[in-house]
């Protein structure tokens, strides 16, 4: 009988401690699920402090990372997702934590980091059966780099008519060619602006380049060489250079509009997992 009582006395503190940890975890989860993210972070950190055996170490690191990510604290989120990687009890959970690090890097636009981490996962033989997931996030990374055509090719590795492949390909088709806008402006001033729909700017470029070009040529014809040099250098070249620079800038701005429209569409209407 004494031995039984002794065993009970020895294990009772452990049982009590575990029940306290469960209560703490549930309290933190309730805060997280109700959207009180930063309060939840404090409670998950408290859970970690009392969890001396590390039973909830991976779980709490993941939840803290998710909470920081949801609150826009991406650097802190990466730190805790990386902690989750180090405390992952198996390969599957390690992969989940690594993917969350990648997704957060995509959101904070540290795309080179995301590519390096994706390359690392791709070379890891443990995850040969998860290549579709790796390509999925690589495609998203290219989208956030504004490389829509490359993104479409990556998504096609998953499925030929993958919804994101189709969206990426259409976005690339909708974009304007910066090189074409510049070249056509070199040849025909104002036409680069016409190409992007900036007709007033195009007409002004045609007018000013044409007028200053006429003044320059006329000065040389009338043997007013000094006037020709002044007008040519100060006016004609200025308007001619501004013509193709404007065409380039308008094209870049139009492409940003196209990309932003697609990103908003993905944010509001795409039903799959997003970064």
**Cβ pair 38, 69 in contact under 8 A:** no
Percent of the chain topping pLDDT 90:
56
Tell the burial category of 104 from Cβ atoms under 10 Å away from its Cβ (0-12, 13-18, 19+). Answer: buried
C-alpha 207/C-alpha 201 separation (Å) is 10
The whole-angstrom separation of Cα 2 and Cα 263 is 70
In this prediction, residue 256 carries a pLDDT of 86
83-106 average pLDDT score: 96
Q: How far apart are CA 184 and CA 207, in angstroms?
A: 16
Query: Contact, 37 vs 71, CB < 8 A?
Result: yes
Question: Any idea what DSSP says for residue 90?
Answer: S
Of residues 178 and 41, which shows the higher confidence score?
A: 41
Q: For 217-246, what is the mean pLDDT?
A: 54
8 A C-beta contact, residue 155 and residue 168: yes
Record: fold of 15-108:
1.25.40
Domain positions in the chain: 15-108, 178-265
pLDDT cut 70: percent of the chain above it:
73
Q: What is the pTM of this model?
A: 0.81
Those residues with Cβ within 8 angstroms of residue 212's Cβ, 6 or more apart along the chain or in another chain? 231, 232, 235, 236, 239
């Amino acid at each position: 009988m004494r031995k039984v009582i002794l065993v009970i006395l020895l294990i009772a503190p452990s049982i009590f401690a575990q029940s306290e940890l469960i209560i703490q975890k549930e309290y933190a989860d309730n805060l997280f699920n109700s959207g009180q993210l930063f309060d939840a972070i404090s409670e998950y950190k408290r859970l970690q402090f009392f969890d001396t055996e590390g039973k909830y170490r991976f779980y709490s690191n993941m939840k803290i990372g998710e909470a920081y990510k949801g609150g826009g604290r991406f650097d802190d989120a990466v730190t805790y997702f990386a902690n989750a990687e180090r405390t992952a009890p198996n390969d599957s959970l390690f992969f989940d934590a690594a993917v969350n690090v990648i997704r957060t890097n995509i959101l904070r636009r540290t795309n080179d980091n995301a590519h390096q981490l994706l390359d690392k996962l791709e070379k890891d033989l443990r995850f040969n059966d998860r290549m579709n997931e790796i390509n999925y996030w690589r495609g998203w990374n290219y989208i956030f780099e504004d490389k829509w055509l490359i993104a479409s090719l990556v998504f096609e590795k998953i499925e030929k008519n993958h919804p994101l492949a189709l969206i990426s390909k259409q976005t690339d088709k909708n974009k304007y060619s910066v090189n074409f806008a510049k070249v056509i402006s070199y040849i025909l001033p104002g036409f680069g602006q016409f190409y992007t729909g900036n007709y007033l700017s195009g007409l002004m470029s045609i007018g000013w380049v044409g007028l200053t070009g006429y003044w320059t040529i006329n000065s040389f014809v009338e043997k007013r060489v000094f006037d020709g040099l002044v007008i040519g250098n100060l006016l004609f070249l200025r308007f001619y250079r501004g013509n193709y620079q404007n065409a380039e800038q308008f094209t870049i701005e139009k492409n940003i509009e196209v990309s932003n429209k697609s990103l908003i569409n993905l944010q509001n209407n795409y039903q799959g997992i997003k970064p």
